[in-house]
A = this chain, B = another copy of it.
Amino acid sequence: MAEYTPVPLLMAAEQFAKLPGIGMKTAQRLAYHILTLPIDSAKEFAAGVLMARESVRFCVKCQNFTSSNLESDLETENLQNQVCLCVICQDEHNRNHKVICVVESPKDVSVFERTGGFNGVYHVLHGLLSPIDGTHPEDLRIRELMERLTENVDEIIMATNPTVEGEATATYIGRLVKTVGAGEIKVTRLAYGLPAGAALEFADDVTLTRALENRNEI
Protein backbone atom coordinates (compact mmCIF):
# COMPACT_ATOMS: atom_id res chain seq x y z
CA MET A 1 0.00 0.00 0.00
CA ALA A 2 1.40 3.38 -0.95
CA GLU A 3 2.06 6.08 1.61
CA TYR A 4 -1.05 8.10 2.26
CA THR A 5 -0.72 11.80 2.93
CA PRO A 6 -3.54 14.21 2.05
CA VAL A 7 -2.67 16.50 -0.87
CA PRO A 8 -2.99 19.84 1.01
CA LEU A 9 -0.63 18.54 3.72
CA LEU A 10 1.90 17.61 1.04
CA MET A 11 1.50 21.01 -0.63
CA ALA A 12 2.21 22.96 2.55
CA ALA A 13 4.97 20.57 3.68
CA GLU A 14 6.71 20.95 0.32
CA GLN A 15 6.97 24.71 0.87
CA PHE A 16 8.27 24.39 4.43
CA ALA A 17 10.81 21.76 3.38
CA LYS A 18 12.43 24.35 1.12
CA LEU A 19 13.50 26.37 4.16
CA PRO A 20 17.03 25.81 5.49
CA GLY A 21 17.32 23.30 8.32
CA ILE A 22 13.73 22.08 7.91
CA GLY A 23 13.53 18.39 7.04
CA MET A 24 10.49 16.53 5.74
CA LYS A 25 9.32 15.48 9.22
CA THR A 26 9.43 19.03 10.61
CA ALA A 27 7.89 20.37 7.40
CA GLN A 28 4.93 18.02 7.83
CA ARG A 29 4.52 19.08 11.45
CA LEU A 30 4.48 22.75 10.44
CA ALA A 31 2.12 22.02 7.54
CA TYR A 32 -0.21 20.19 9.89
CA HIS A 33 -0.22 23.23 12.17
CA ILE A 34 -1.06 25.57 9.29
CA LEU A 35 -3.91 23.34 8.08
CA THR A 36 -5.53 23.32 11.50
CA LEU A 37 -5.25 27.10 11.91
CA PRO A 38 -8.29 29.32 11.34
CA ILE A 39 -8.18 30.53 7.73
CA ASP A 40 -7.57 34.13 8.85
CA SER A 41 -4.48 33.15 10.83
CA ALA A 42 -3.16 31.23 7.83
CA LYS A 43 -3.73 34.29 5.66
CA GLU A 44 -1.98 36.48 8.21
CA PHE A 45 1.02 34.15 8.20
CA ALA A 46 1.35 34.08 4.42
CA ALA A 47 0.76 37.82 4.06
CA GLY A 48 3.18 38.67 6.89
CA VAL A 49 6.01 36.68 5.36
CA LEU A 50 5.40 38.04 1.87
CA MET A 51 5.02 41.63 3.07
CA ALA A 52 8.34 41.37 4.90
CA ARG A 53 10.05 40.22 1.69
CA GLU A 54 8.32 42.91 -0.36
CA SER A 55 9.17 45.73 2.03
CA VAL A 56 12.84 44.82 2.36
CA ARG A 57 15.34 47.15 0.69
CA PHE A 58 19.11 47.28 0.74
CA CYS A 59 20.77 50.34 2.21
CA VAL A 60 22.55 52.07 -0.69
CA LYS A 61 25.63 52.55 1.46
CA CYS A 62 26.17 49.55 3.72
CA GLN A 63 23.95 47.07 1.77
CA ASN A 64 22.26 45.95 4.99
CA PHE A 65 18.54 45.18 5.03
CA THR A 66 16.40 48.20 5.67
CA SER A 67 12.72 48.86 5.16
CA SER A 68 11.30 51.43 2.81
CA ASN A 69 10.13 54.72 4.16
CA LEU A 70 6.39 54.86 3.56
CA GLU A 71 6.26 58.59 2.77
CA SER A 72 9.06 58.48 0.26
CA ASP A 73 7.41 55.35 -1.19
CA LEU A 74 4.42 57.45 -2.10
CA GLU A 75 6.61 60.05 -3.78
CA THR A 76 8.71 57.73 -5.89
CA GLU A 77 7.27 55.81 -8.76
CA ASN A 78 9.63 52.90 -8.76
CA LEU A 79 9.37 51.27 -5.35
CA GLN A 80 11.82 48.48 -6.05
CA ASN A 81 14.72 50.72 -7.03
CA GLN A 82 14.08 53.38 -4.46
CA VAL A 83 17.16 54.88 -2.83
CA CYS A 84 17.17 54.39 0.94
CA LEU A 85 19.59 54.55 3.82
CA CYS A 86 19.54 52.39 6.93
CA VAL A 87 19.29 54.02 10.36
CA ILE A 88 22.98 53.42 11.06
CA CYS A 89 24.16 55.09 7.85
CA GLN A 90 21.70 57.95 8.42
CA ASP A 91 23.15 58.66 11.88
CA GLU A 92 25.72 61.44 11.36
CA HIS A 93 26.09 62.32 15.04
CA ASN A 94 26.74 59.10 16.92
CA ARG A 95 28.45 56.99 14.27
CA ASN A 96 31.98 57.34 13.00
CA HIS A 97 31.64 57.05 9.23
CA LYS A 98 35.41 56.80 8.79
CA VAL A 99 35.54 53.26 10.22
CA ILE A 100 33.79 50.55 8.21
CA CYS A 101 33.27 47.08 9.65
CA VAL A 102 32.92 44.56 6.79
CA VAL A 103 30.68 41.58 7.63
CA GLU A 104 29.23 38.59 5.83
CA SER A 105 25.52 39.06 6.53
CA PRO A 106 22.92 41.32 8.18
CA LYS A 107 22.87 38.91 11.11
CA ASP A 108 26.46 39.91 11.91
CA VAL A 109 25.47 43.58 12.09
CA SER A 110 22.91 42.67 14.76
CA VAL A 111 25.59 40.75 16.66
CA PHE A 112 27.98 43.73 16.75
CA GLU A 113 25.18 46.16 17.62
CA ARG A 114 24.20 43.93 20.53
CA THR A 115 27.66 44.34 22.08
CA GLY A 116 27.27 48.11 21.91
CA GLY A 117 31.05 48.39 21.61
CA PHE A 118 31.29 49.62 18.02
CA ASN A 119 30.32 53.09 16.88
CA GLY A 120 31.54 52.94 13.28
CA VAL A 121 29.46 51.90 10.28
CA TYR A 122 29.10 48.57 8.48
CA HIS A 123 29.34 47.03 5.06
CA VAL A 124 27.43 43.81 4.38
CA LEU A 125 28.94 41.53 1.71
CA HIS A 126 25.97 39.13 1.53
CA GLY A 127 28.20 36.09 1.33
CA LEU A 128 31.82 34.97 1.41
CA LEU A 129 34.18 34.06 -1.40
CA SER A 130 33.95 30.34 -2.04
CA PRO A 131 35.04 29.26 -5.51
CA ILE A 132 34.02 25.68 -4.70
CA ASP A 133 30.41 26.81 -4.15
CA GLY A 134 30.58 29.15 -7.13
CA THR A 135 30.71 32.39 -5.12
CA HIS A 136 33.12 34.77 -6.86
CA PRO A 137 34.02 38.40 -6.06
CA GLU A 138 31.36 39.74 -8.43
CA ASP A 139 28.65 37.88 -6.44
CA LEU A 140 29.43 39.84 -3.29
CA ARG A 141 28.87 43.55 -2.63
CA ILE A 142 32.57 44.32 -3.06
CA ARG A 143 32.11 46.91 -5.81
CA GLU A 144 29.82 48.89 -3.50
CA LEU A 145 32.50 48.78 -0.79
CA MET A 146 35.13 50.11 -3.19
CA GLU A 147 32.82 52.98 -4.13
CA ARG A 148 32.63 53.95 -0.47
CA LEU A 149 36.41 54.24 -0.26
CA THR A 150 36.30 57.45 -2.33
CA GLU A 151 34.73 59.07 0.74
CA ASN A 152 36.91 59.92 3.73
CA VAL A 153 37.67 56.45 5.19
CA ASP A 154 40.33 55.75 7.83
CA GLU A 155 39.93 52.08 8.57
CA ILE A 156 38.35 48.93 7.19
CA ILE A 157 37.79 46.20 9.80
CA MET A 158 37.49 42.78 8.17
CA ALA A 159 34.98 41.06 10.48
CA THR A 160 34.25 37.91 8.50
CA ASN A 161 34.09 34.54 10.28
CA PRO A 162 37.35 32.80 11.28
CA THR A 163 36.76 30.06 8.68
CA VAL A 164 38.57 29.22 5.45
CA GLU A 165 36.07 31.25 3.39
CA GLY A 166 36.08 34.09 5.91
CA GLU A 167 39.87 34.29 5.87
CA ALA A 168 40.06 34.14 2.08
CA THR A 169 37.47 36.92 1.75
CA ALA A 170 39.26 39.08 4.35
CA THR A 171 42.61 38.63 2.60
CA TYR A 172 41.14 39.31 -0.86
CA ILE A 173 39.28 42.45 0.16
CA GLY A 174 42.18 43.62 2.35
CA ARG A 175 44.53 43.63 -0.65
CA LEU A 176 41.94 45.31 -2.83
CA VAL A 177 41.38 48.09 -0.27
CA LYS A 178 45.12 48.70 0.03
CA THR A 179 45.43 49.02 -3.74
CA VAL A 180 42.40 51.26 -4.18
CA GLY A 181 43.21 53.35 -1.09
CA ALA A 182 46.87 53.67 -2.16
CA GLY A 183 47.97 52.46 1.28
CA GLU A 184 46.26 55.31 3.11
CA ILE A 185 43.42 53.19 4.48
CA LYS A 186 44.22 50.94 7.44
CA VAL A 187 42.94 47.38 7.06
CA THR A 188 42.46 45.36 10.25
CA ARG A 189 41.21 41.89 11.12
CA LEU A 190 39.32 40.72 14.23
CA ALA A 191 41.67 39.24 16.86
CA TYR A 192 42.01 35.49 17.22
CA GLY A 193 42.33 34.10 20.72
CA LEU A 194 40.61 32.19 23.47
CA PRO A 195 36.87 32.77 23.81
CA ALA A 196 35.83 34.25 27.16
CA GLY A 197 34.96 31.60 29.73
CA ALA A 198 36.66 28.82 27.78
CA ALA A 199 38.85 26.13 29.34
CA LEU A 200 42.40 25.87 28.00
CA GLU A 201 42.20 22.08 27.76
CA PHE A 202 39.36 22.29 25.22
CA ALA A 203 40.96 24.95 23.00
CA ASP A 204 42.06 23.69 19.59
CA ASP A 205 45.68 23.99 18.49
CA VAL A 206 45.16 26.83 16.04
CA THR A 207 43.31 28.96 18.58
CA LEU A 208 45.90 28.27 21.28
CA THR A 209 48.82 29.06 18.98
CA ARG A 210 47.21 32.34 17.92
CA ALA A 211 46.37 33.25 21.52
CA LEU A 212 50.03 32.72 22.40
CA GLU A 213 51.29 34.71 19.40
CA ASN A 214 49.00 37.63 20.10
CA ARG A 215 49.61 37.72 23.85
CA ASN A 216 49.29 41.12 25.51
CA GLU A 217 51.26 42.64 28.36
CA ILE A 218 49.20 43.06 31.53
Contacts and interface: CB of A to CB of B under 8 A. Distances in A.
Interface of A: 1, 3-9, 11-12, 14-16, 18-22, 26, 28-37, 39, 42-56, 64-67, 86-88, 105-107, 109-110, 113-114, 116, 126
Contacts of A9: 52, 56, 65, 106
**Main SS at interface, chain A:** helix
A44 B16 CA distance: 11
The 8 A-B pairs of least Cβ separation, nearest first, read: A12-B52, A4-B113, A6-B65, A42-B53, A11-B52, A1-B116, A8-B56, A46-B50
Contacts of A4: 87-88, 109-110, 113-114
A105 B52 contact: no
A113 B20 contact: no
Given A9-B106, A29-B20, A49 B52 contact: no
A123 to B, nearest CB: 15
Contact of A11 (B1, B18, B51, B66): B51
A107 B49 contact: no
A13 to B, nearest CB: 8
B6 A86 contact: yes
Contacts of A106: 6, 9, 32
Nearest to A118: B1
Contacts of A114: 3-4
A2 to B, nearest CB: 8
A64 B6 contact: yes
A15 B51 CA distance: 11
Given A12-B48, A18-B45, A88-B4, A53 B65 contact: no
A19 B49 CA distance: 13
A105 B43 CA distance: 23
